[in-house]
Structure formats: C-alpha cells, structure tokens
Chain A
C-alpha cells in the first residue's frame, strides 16, 4: 500500500515489533503508568505553609486513617497529563465526523471570554447587585435562542442535552397536570429512530413509552402518529432533523395532529445545527426543544462534558419553566427569580442548584456574537453542503438506506455495501482510526443495519473533505477486494490495539488497587 507521496506507508515485516525499545516507548508515543504507580504519599505539588496551632471544632469527627491519595510534583504532574493527552483524538487533531454530535471547531476566543473574571470568578449567591453583567449575558443568550427558534421562553439551567429533555418533559407534565389530565395522559410517543435518552427521559418521570415505527424512507409519517393518538397521549418526542440525517417532511402535519389531540410536541434539538437561521422550530409547531450548546454553539465537548442544554418553550409551556430565571427589573437592571413563590408564573420546580452552566453560556454567546445572524445561516448551509458533498462522493461505493437523496448536516450509510466481505461497520471504524480519522457514529440509529452516521460539520475545508472521501473510497475498495486484515485487526497504529470490552464488563475493575505484596520466598 502506498500513501499519497508514493512511499510505503506500512513498515510491514520490518515494522515496529522488529525494533523493540528498552522502555517500550516508541519515540513520541510514550507509555504512561497510572498516577498510583508513580505518585508518592509524601509528595505535593502545591506549596502551602501549615497553619499555626489551633483548637479544631470538628466535634471529634477527624479522620484518623490515611486517605490513600498519592501526589506528584508540578513537573511530574505536567508530564503525566501531557502524555495522557497525547493518547487522545480531538477536533484539533483531525476530522471528527461523529454523527449527531456536531464536532465543530472550538474557537479559543470563547475560552478566553469564559475566563473573564466577571464570569468565571463570580459566585452564584453573591448579591444580585454585584452580578448584573452576568445576568445581562444570560438574558442576552436567552434572547438569541428565542429569536433563532421563534419560541416564547427559555429555561437555561439544564446541564446537558438529556437534562434539557427532562426539563422539557417536566414542563409538559406540569402543563398536563394543570389541565387536570395528569391521571389520564400518560403515554409518550417516541420513534424507533430516536436517541436512547428520549425513552429513558420519558420513563424517568412516569410516562409510558410507545414506539412509532419509522417508514422505509427514514421519516415518521403523520398517519402512523395519528393511529397512536388518543386522550392518553401526552406528547411526542421527535428529533428534527432526525437521526437518519433527514428533515422530517411531515413535521408540520405531525405537529398539528398532536395539538389537535391535546398533546404536546417535544423536539429533540440535537440536530439543530442543520437549520439554525434556515428554519425556526417554533414555526414548525414545536412546544419544547432543548438546544445542546456543546453541539450547535460550539462549547467544547471536553471528553464528555460539561454540556449545557437550555430548553426553549412555546407560549403554552412558558408559564411552567423552572426556577431560576432572569427577568428585567424596574430600574433597567436584571432580577434573578430563584424561588417558585417569587414567580408570577407556575414554575414546575428546580433542575439544578444555582443557575446552570454559566461557563457554557459565555462560550455560546461568544460564538453567536462572532457568527452573527449571517454567519449562523452560512454555517448551517455549509454543514449541510459538506454532508451532501460526502454523500455525492461515496454514493456509488457505499450504500444509502433511503436512496440517494439530499440529507441535512449528516449522511447515513448502512452496511449493505459490506455484504459478503467479512468486514463489519465496527471494523471500518477501526480502520479509519489507522488512517488518522475519528470514526463516524456507528450502529446508530438502530433502525438501520450497521449504521454509519457521518457529520462533517461546517468546520471542514473542501480539501479536507476530498481527502476523507478518497480515504473512504480506498477503504471501500479494499473491503470489496477481500483485504480483510486491514479491517479486522485494526487499529494497528493507535496508542492501543482493539480493546476487550467484554472482559471489562464481565469482571469490572473500576479503580486501581495496590498489588498484593509478594510473599517472601521460603528459605
């Protein structure tokens, strides 16, 4: 196999194993032990002086036993975590086409703004008079989100997407109870293609989940919804654009049918990035939708959080928004409503301590100010254009479960093209790792066999997409030509070979434990 420069790209027989090193390191690829294997109990990387003698007031509940926490000096700490970081793939490393996750560029301006002392170094319970700028930012963020969605109100406090779903469904439940229908409306419709958090959220607060089948074209049909509607239906949870990468063509009709039946339309906003500035969910009949600031508005994913999941609400649900929220005060300042009793409306309760993810609000605001209305529209168009460009570049070799038609910001392939190759979606993903890419989302949505969901985002250049398409074409040809080894053994070049997940689950090792002391040999 030759790489783009025509040099052999794999070392083959004369590869890495032929030149073992004393340390096990391979130049820049360093093996890093666990903290507990290199740390020492008498070491600290923080200089503080012991306090003067004093009489403790702990009521005799002082800790007597050691905790078991090793420490490292500052240079050792730096090296430990830098080496760990080098075993990670991030957006800044390369193309990260993880479908439904919107791994777009994380501008460092946003990091700098979030660290301004007036945002990062203020306490949630300081006097409101000393945090007027923070409340102004929250108010402004809310205004932007409401404007982009054409909704009535926003609950900023949910801490992540699933938490936002919970908030939206709680608002729906509160509205239903306010109408006296709490005992009878207890069913939530969830399409098969929905993300697993949707049914989990509905079930968490006592709703019964009924599945809506997906049609062969990947969309939800209003007739299928109507068949399930009745006085027992509280809501539908519909992702739009959906997880197949398609805009639900009948969304307006579905919304109308839902409303006619006295139910509510919860929209999962995970894929909002496709339509920001192009269409407003409020115009489509949505009653509640969470917005993943960490997807659409580029707050960093951070290896799995922190996220932020504000929920926009229609006029029907706005009165039930949880505390806290910001409102304009009499003197031109801002007030923070923290208690249900202080609200003119009927808040359903509280989602979290304090006021939500301020650090994420600032980053999202910085993103929105930078893009502006024109830039956000352009970003959505580019995201959709990029996904369709990949579709066009691969449609002859890979298989599209719903036919070769335009997609939104992500393109969904299935594994029909791998038939009889002995290669699976998982194998393709691992081979992509060797090629220097983060794999796409695999095996989701569940309605498609061996799903591969590719979301390039607007952050990719045309040349980056061209190389990605060429790589996938090369992989596809390779699979079809029977070069199984390239896939089933992959990854060959990552910091680890394929990891044994079954073993991890069978007898879980969830923390480090000291090795058993070696018994002394008998004399």
Chain B
C-alpha cells in the first residue's frame, strides 16, 4: 500500500523488538470474539489511477457553476478566486500543520490568524474578531449562546429575514439547551416590525443584512431599541463582499457581528468547508467563543503570536467552558485572508461595486421579462423575483436548458405560501451573455 512505509521485514523486526509474535497480541484488550479476522466487507485497495477514475465519474454527473450561466446564492456565492490563493493554501506547512499549540514552530499560522482577526474586525466595524468559526450558521448559534451569557437572559428574537438554515441551527441548539427562540414570519420586503418584539426579557435580536430575500437593512433603530432594553443586537451577513460597499454593522450599533466568509477565497464546495466570521466589542471578549490569537514576545524580546485567553476553552474549563468548539476553520480562514490581502480595500470595494452593478443590471433586465416581477426596493447582489409560475418547477426547467437560475424560496421555506418566489444572485462572474441567457430561458418557460 503506497501510503504505508513498513515492509513485512520491518514489521517482523519490530514485533520481535516489542516481544510479541503476532500483531494481534497488541490488540489483546479487544474482546476475542469481536476482533475481526478478515478485512471488512468493502473493496480492496486501489491505485491512484483507479481512484481518479471512480471519483471523476461521480464528479462528471454534476453541473458545475463555471460551466453554465449561474445565479444561485442564498448564503453561498460563486466568486472568482485568484490562482495564488489555492496555491498558497496547499503549501505543506499550512496544509499539514495542526492547531498552533506549539507557537515557536507555528508562527506562520499564528501570524496569519492575527492578520485575519484584524481584517475581520475592520470589515465588521468591531473591536475584536476571533480566529474563525465553522461557518456562518454555526457561528450564529454560538452568538446567541454568547448573548445569553452576557445578558443572563434566555430569549432570542430572530428576524424573518434570517436565512432559514441559520434560524434552524439556532432553534435546534436553543431547544436542546431549553432556551427560548422567537422566529418572525418570512419577511419578503424587509418591513417586519421587529422593534415591538423586543422587551426586557429579550437577550438578543438576530437580524441579517442583506437579508435572505436580498433587502439591505438599517440596523441602527434595531440596535437602539435593543440597547434600551438591555438586549444585544446580533448582526448576520451571508455575503461578506457586501461589507465592501455597505455601512459596517459595528457602525450601526451591533454588539456581535457574525457571518459567512466563503465568498472571499473559498469555493462553493457544495456547502462546505466554509469559514465563519465572528466579531464583537472588547468588553465581551471573555464571553466570546472560539480560538483567539494574540500578540506577545519571545524570550529574546522578539514579537510573536500565541493562542490566548484559552481559560474560556473546554480543555481548561471542561463543563464550564464558553463553548465546546475546539477547532476553527483554519485553512479556509487562510484562503480568506490571502484573497483579502490581494484585494485590499481598493479591490474589495471595486469588487463590491461590480457585484452590485451586475445585480442592478440583471434586475432591470428581468423586470422586462413577462411573468417576472422584481420585489426588492434595495439589494446588494441578490434579490427576490415573483414568477408567474412556481419557482421550483421553473428552476428545474431552466436547468434542463442549461441555466442555473437561483434558489426557489419554497426550498428554504416550504409551506410558507411563497412558492412563486425565486432568489437570484449575480456576482462578478456573470457576463452580459449569462444575463441574456437567463432572460431568454425565462421567456420560454413562463
């Protein structure tokens, strides 16, 4: 087997050195009747060529985003990732290293985490950011738990514009922990009355902007009302590129900002791995979940970085820990930070303008198509359209025509009576030809 260096001669010599005759003597504590004599019932080993054949065959059954006009979003976005990013994250020293428990030989990881934290704090307009979460949805679940710790209350109010998967993750966690969750009805136009839901028992309000329907939300009034009642505002985003153009959640009064960073540096990957961004104010850092990297000096006085404030964490605190999280999304945060470094402020804001411009163009073109109504007054790179026919079947028919048109709202919110609504995203990857193809295909099927 190509990955196993030991030869049978080696094995024989090593067993002799250990003082046993057969390797199974090392498994003596396994109940005799349960120790398997033969390999399990799965195929035997395969060479690289054969494995490539099998997996390539599976891969070829899928339609990749780059191969068609592509407008699917709703929390994961197709962006162009520079070649440099994927090359750098595959360097052995990044790819095959562990959590930096030995900082003297992990300064590469630690320094980029410090840079990542600085970038995320700047983007969100917050004091501090952690070294990343699994993804935006689990980060949102952790943000709610953190708010409960800070406020010592147990009721979260979730906007009807929050991505339903995110709401489900929060609700699953909250139900299990016997905390209360109030989820408002789907809010297509971004006009819900969330302020009246906030009272003195509210721990936090969770609001996404741009929301799942694409509306851009002003968080300031919500933050003000929350703060009047001693509650926290958790601001969520699923499209981090929007922060290149929009006011930061921190500047609008958010107490915790959490979101999905996939758009920068990371491929679609059918939903994962992604990278959760998590930021808050300095006064809350000891209640913050996840890994944190901090600056210090070494014995010679040289600057260096270490994981810090680990007394919050489970390997020290065990059942009193702030969270059970033990990893971050290391390599995905590296991809994020490299791409963000390549973009810089200039590149990010331009990328955001291109995204917005492309979406505006698409919205204007779609509103000319009979049977399509654009519902949004405001949006960044994604918006909701109302079709003359159910969106799910329309999307299937468009897929047959080689256009991936978007996400039917009914897939995310079945039974909400929103079957004719479609979420359509347009990023920098879309060309005029893509937009024309979508409009033409819609004309045919509607």
Contacts and interface: CB of A to CB of B under 8 A. Distances in A.
Nearest to B40: A373
Contact of A302 (B46, B55, B94, B267): B94
Contacts of A93: 92-93, 96
Given A58-B380, A247-B30, A374 B44 contact: yes
Contact of B166 (A148, A199, A353, A498): A353
B165 interface: yes
A504 B328 contact: no
A379 B4 contact: yes
B34 A283 contact: yes
A437 to B, nearest CB: 10
A51 B52 contact: no
Contacts of A348: 172, 176
A118 B98 contact: no
A64 B245 CA distance: 9
Nearest to B119: A69
B346 A43 contact: yes
A89 B60 contact: no
Given A81-B112, A303-B109, A355 B299 contact: no
Given A89-B105, A107-B3, A372-B43, A63 B345 contact: no
B414 to A, nearest CB: 6
Contacts of B308: 501, 504-505, 508, 510
B135 A118 contact: no
Given A46-B342, A74-B84, A161-B326, A118 B64 contact: yes
Given A89-B105, A105-B3, A199-B319, A355 B271 contact: yes
Nearest to A342: B414
Contact of B55 (A36, A284, A365): A365
Given A353-B163, A374-B39, A92 B23 contact: no
B20 A406 contact: yes
The size class of the interface chain B forms with chain A is 35 or more
A56 interface: yes
A184 interface: no
A302 to B, nearest CB: 3
A22 interface: no
A372 B45 contact: yes
A89 B427 CA distance: 38
A454 interface: no
Contacts of A51: 353-354, 356-358
A120 B428 contact: no
Contacts of B102: 89, 429, 433, 438-439
Contact of A196 (B82, B128, B314): B314
Contact of A122 (B62, B82, B86, B350): B62
A371 B296 contact: no
Contacts of A10: none
B25 interface: yes
A239 to B, nearest CB: 14
A283 B26 CA distance: 19
Nearest to B413: A339
B134 interface: yes
B320 A203 contact: yes
Contact of A116 (B59, B138, B246, B345): B59
Nearest to A91: B96
Contacts of B4: 375, 378-379, 382, 458-459
B272 A355 contact: yes
A358 B269 contact: yes
B411 interface: yes
Contact of B331 (A42, A303, A375): A303
Q: Which of A36, A350, A511 has the most CB of B within 10 A?
A: A511
Interface in B353-408: 353-354, 356-358, 360-361, 363, 376-380, 395-396, 399, 404, 407
Interface in A358-392: 358-360, 362, 365-366, 368-379, 381-382, 384-386, 388-389, 391-392
B351 A277 contact: no
Given A137-B58, A511-B121, A305 B66 contact: no
Given A71-B346, A406-B26, A511-B118, A497 B300 contact: yes
Interface in B76-128: 76, 78, 82, 84, 86, 88-109, 111-112, 114-115, 117-119, 121-123, 128
Contacts of A350: 165, 168-169, 172
Indicate the member of A81, A301, A349 with the most B CB atoms within 10 Å: A81
Nearest to B15: A385
A61 B51 contact: no
A132 B246 contact: no
A74 to B, nearest CB: 6
Interface in B236-286: 243-248, 251, 260, 267-273, 275, 285
Contact of B23 (A45, A369, A384): A384
A92 B343 CA distance: 30
A185 interface: no
Contacts, number: 710
Contacts of B165: 350, 352-354
A304 B26 CA distance: 31
A63 B166 contact: no
Given A82-B88, A85-B93, A358-B271, A462 B13 contact: yes
B361 A433 contact: no
Interface in B198-214: none
Interface string B210-237: 0000001010000000000000000000
Contacts of A300: 95-96, 331
Contacts of A358: 269-272
B95 A461 contact: no
Interface string B303-334: 01110111101111111110111111111101
A505 B285 CA distance: 12
Contacts of A214: none
Interface stretch (A123-131, A223-231, A475-483): A123-131
Contacts of B29: 246-249, 406
A450 interface: no
A72 interface: yes
Given A127-B399, A303-B100, A489-B299, A45 B82 contact: yes
A430 interface: yes
A127 B396 contact: yes
A35 B356 CA distance: 28
A283 B346 CA distance: 59
A509 interface: yes
A353 to B, nearest CB: 4
A406 B17 CA distance: 13
A44 B42 contact: no
A173 interface: yes
B421 interface: no
A376 to B, nearest CB: 8
A433 B331 contact: no
A306 B105 contact: no
B444 to A, nearest CB: 17
Contacts of A355: 270-272
Contacts of B74: 125
A123 B414 contact: no
Q: Which of A96, A196, A303, A308 has the most CB of B within 10 A?
A: A303
A385 B23 contact: yes
B218 A61 contact: yes
Contact of B345 (A67, A117, A249, A512): A67
A40 interface: yes
8 contacts: A41-B344, A62-B245, A72-B342, A123-B76, A354-B271, A370-B48, A430-B104, A510-B121
**Across chains A and B, which 7 residue pairs bring their CB atoms closest together, nearest first?**
A71-B344, A354-B271, A118-B59, A349-B172, A133-B61, A302-B331, A124-B271
Given A84-B107, A284-B34, A498-B104, 7 more contacts: A81-B112, A84-B112, A132-B61, A204-B145, A359-B269, A499-B305, A511-B128
